[in-house]
Structure 1
Amino acid sequence: MDIARLDNLLLELTDSERAYRAGARYDWCDAFDWDFQPEIDDNHVHKIGNRMRALHQKGMPEGLSIVRNSRFNPVPEHVHDYVEISYVYCGNAPQIVNGAQLTLAQNEVLLLDAACPHAIGELGEHDIMLSIVISRPMLRRSLDQSLSSAGTVSRFLLNALNDETDHRGHVHFRTGGSRRVRRYMQEMLCELLEPTAASPQIASRLFELLLVELMQSYEAALLQTDAPALPSAQVAAAMSYIERHACDCTLDDLAHHLHLSPNYASALLKRQTGRTFMQLVQESRLTRAAALLDTGATAEAAAREVGYANMSFFYKKFAERYGCTPAAYRRRLPR
């Protein structure tokens, strides 16, 4: 299927949309699950959607489905019992999420956990919004294939798999300029509308790629903001971790400790300390080496203790930091 045909199919009005445009209104009472009315902040919120039906769709892998939202038909505040991704193919989509107004622009994505209350405003004729419905097993498989446990998006998805956590979270991805998000969505839609025997496997891989792109886009956007993104408590925790593990600390270790992705942790440390991760590690090692020299340790013993295997490199870095060789540093000590 070519993209022009895909665009035309998505823009075609259904019979129900023509009726809504003419003034008819859908009776949402028929869609509510009256046996499930969670109380959120002292308000009863209805559940919409049948998980058993929503997660079985021809051309899609088990646990993943895509539906186009009806235009001219606002959706009242509700929750689901599955994770949902809203994607605006074209136009805009006004929403209220957790009581706050939010507008999704073209090519933007909204990730909603199961118990996040949200409402969708009336979509116009050229406003096309798609909803991706995801089961927990599908999420787990996708995480195993595409994401580590670090990063904002993967932490959100891991939270969605946990029965003991709050499921009212959401993440807004301002991915309007991302060619990958649009391409992955288009290719998934083509597999849905013209399915083959390989479509479920292809759609599954495309979904994994979509998650990776969302994670990268979100963290790149955070790094471009002027506001501090890493709380001072986490900076202190990062510095303490580096001091304790300087002899064998890696960026991956630190990122895992902070529950961040390595690139994100590195960039934020640079922003808030003015030094790179390796500069911080070297400083901590050299400070510890100097302390050992103060106690009478030899240069070789101090270097080995703080993790330097290359003595020439240790001498070079020590001289850069203290302006003298380790031997000269020891000789300055009173006898």
Structure 2
Amino acid sequence: MNQRVLNMLHTLNSLEKKQKKDACYLEEMPVKAFSKDLSEKKKIKVLNNYFFRNKDIYVSKHNRFAPYPLHAHTFLEINYMLEGNADQVVNGKPIFLHRGDLLVLDVGAEHSIGTLGERDLLINILFRNSNINIDFLKDLRRSRSVLYDFLLKSPIKANEKQNYLVFRTAKNNKIAQIMDEIIEEYFLKKEFSDTIIKSYLHILVTNLVRDYQIVDQQPQSKTRKIVIEILDEIDKNYSTITLQKVANMFGYNKNYLSNLFKKEVNKSFSEVVIQKKMTQAHTLIMSTSLPISKIVEAVGISNKSFFYKKYYDFYKEKPLADRQQNLINI
């Protein structure tokens, strides 16, 4: 991290000086930063799009020395623990952030923040882009992994929507580098910083999604453990995997394992393998210039006609048309 920026962040601003002196919270936001339709029952402050005047992204240091009251947003927010630690409560659940951790809060997530000490630096990043949300992050991850897709369909609780994610990224140097660049660009007010920050945020989101591990919310029966291992094998070895190889691996009869798998996943083994091959092919089509014939081989399909039919079934478009449309959109 640029030392000049670190010094700026550690320097007490006028509000922090008052909070440190009086040991109580002082409202930092003007009235127009809050939505008018506040919840009377819960008395939750709802921050609106006030922050995005002339910019798509707003970055700030969270003020220290006083707890921040319960509030919600009409936008996506990332809390990044640059230094120190922080206690938060999100939707009634305590969350403890260590140095390097990120908390992603979706629209409507209710949270409060405990008192930060002098060495605690919590950075807030706010997004104007309503297309980036928790569902977007999950769908992006789901599209790359049949195991993640399976786990994501396991409900946390009936009718409960998870609108926050915690990323324990303290040991991820890549995430730290990206966050350093974003913070430096914003606070040093470099030329074209808004454009550069938006580019970095796309890289950040992609890296977070790639490394995110979902916790299985369902009871870990023997059958479920086996199915999770099989799905993980499909994700890793989709181009060469067969039901017979998996049956040999786990010491089961092929037909018995097939029935067990379908009962748990609600799809046959072959359907899930094809799903993985199609999503992988789609990724290669959209992100590389490899000939379609090479991509067909790479995902382990020998019949090109079969590939084209299945690809159209999944994406309602032909592979080359998908690639051309993607080039137009870039």
Q: Could you tell me which residue of structure 1 aligns to residue 53 of structure 2?
A: 56
- Which of 47, 57, 73 in structure 1 is aligned with 2:45? 47
Q: In structure 2, the residue corresponding to 1:84 is in which secondary structure?
A: strand
Q: Could you tell me which residue of structure 1 aligns to residue 249 of structure 2?
A: none
8 Å CA contact 1:238, 1:254 repeated in 2: no
Q: In structure 1, the residue corresponding to 2:212 is in which secondary structure?
A: helix
8 Å CA contact 1:68, 1:131 repeated in 2: yes
2:199 is equivalent to residue 183 of structure 1:
no
Distance 1:30 1:196, change over 3 A: closer
8 Å CA contact 1:96, 1:120 repeated in 2: yes
Cα displacement string for residues 256-280 of structure 1 (whole angstroms, at most 9, x for unaligned residues): 9xxxx99xxxxxxxxxxxxxxxxxx
2:245 is equivalent to residue 251 of structure 1:
no
Instruction: Kindly report structure 1 stretches of 4+ aligned residues shifted beyond 4 Å.
Output: 27-32, 165-168, 226-235
8 Å CA contact 1:47, 1:81 repeated in 2: no
8 Å CA contact 1:63, 1:138 repeated in 2: no
Give the distance between the partners of 2:172 and 2:111, measured in 1 at CA. 25
Give the CA deviation at 1:242.
3.6
Give the distance between the partners of 2:127 and 2:83, measured in 1 at CA. 22
Cα displacement string for residues 32-56 of structure 1 (whole angstroms, at most 9, x for unaligned residues): 84722248xxx524234331x3123
Give the CA deviation at 1:255.
8.1
Q: Could you tell me which residue of structure 2 aligns to residue 217 of structure 1?
A: 211
Q: Could you tell me which residue of structure 2 aligns to residue 71 of structure 1?
A: 64
Give the distance between the partners of 1:7 and 1:197, measured in 2 at CA. 20
Cα displacement string for residues 119-138 of structure 1 (whole angstroms, at most 9, x for unaligned residues): 00000000000111112356
Give the distance between the partners of 1:238 and 1:174, measured in 2 at CA. 29
8 Å CA contact 1:34, 1:46 repeated in 2: no
Q: Which amino acid aligns with 1:197?
A: E
Give the CA deviation at 1:222.
5.5
Normalised by the length of structure 1, the TM-score is 0.58
- Which of 103, 107, 120 in structure 1 is aligned with 2:100? 107
* Paired residue total: 240
Within 5 Å, give how 1:284-295 maps onto structure 2: none
Within 5 Å, give how 1:116-127 maps onto structure 2: 116-127=109-120
Within 5 Å, give how 1:1-335 maps onto structure 2: 3-28=2-27, 33=34, 35-38=36-39, 44-51=42-49, 53-56=50-53, 62-137=55-130, 139=132, 150=143, 169-219=163-213, 236=262, 240-244=267-271, 249=274, 251-253=276-278
Give the CA deviation at 1:177.
0.6
Give the distance between the partners of 1:199 and 1:17, measured in 2 at CA. 27
Q: In structure 1, the residue corresponding to 2:119 is in which secondary structure?
A: coil
8 Å CA contact 1:175, 1:217 repeated in 2: no
Distance 1:85 1:176, change over 3 A: same
Give the CA deviation at 1:6.
1.8
Cα displacement string for residues 141-176 of structure 1 (whole angstroms, at most 9, x for unaligned residues): xx79xx576369x99xxxxxxxxx987610010001
Structure 2 unaligned spans of 5+: 150-158, 232-260, 285-298, 308-330
Q: Which amino acid aligns with 1:72?
A: F
Give the distance between the partners of 2:35 and 2:226, measured in 1 at CA. 43
Q: Which segment is superposed worse, 17-26 or 103-112? A: 17-26
Give the distance between the partners of 2:92 and 2:176, measured in 1 at CA. 28
Q: In structure 2, the residue corresponding to 1:66 is in which secondary structure?
A: strand
Normalised by the length of structure 2, the TM-score is 0.59
Question: What is the Cα-based RMSD across aligned positions, in Å?
Answer: 4.5
Give the distance between the partners of 1:245 and 1:26, measured in 2 at CA. 53
8 Å CA contact 1:115, 1:168 repeated in 2: no
Q: Could you tell me which residue of structure 2 aligns to residue 271 of structure 1?
A: none
Distance 1:230 1:68, change over 3 A: farther
Q: Which amino acid aligns with 1:77?
A: L
Q: In structure 2, the residue corresponding to 1:197 is in which secondary structure?
A: coil
Give the distance between the partners of 1:178 and 1:34, measured in 2 at CA. 37
Structure 1 unaligned spans of 5+: 156-164, 263-280, 286-302, 309-335
Distance 1:149 1:250, change over 3 A: closer
Distance 1:151 1:19, change over 3 A: farther
Q: Which amino acid aligns with 1:17?
A: E
Give the CA deviation at 1:27.
4.5
Give the distance between the partners of 2:8 and 2:227, measured in 1 at CA. 50
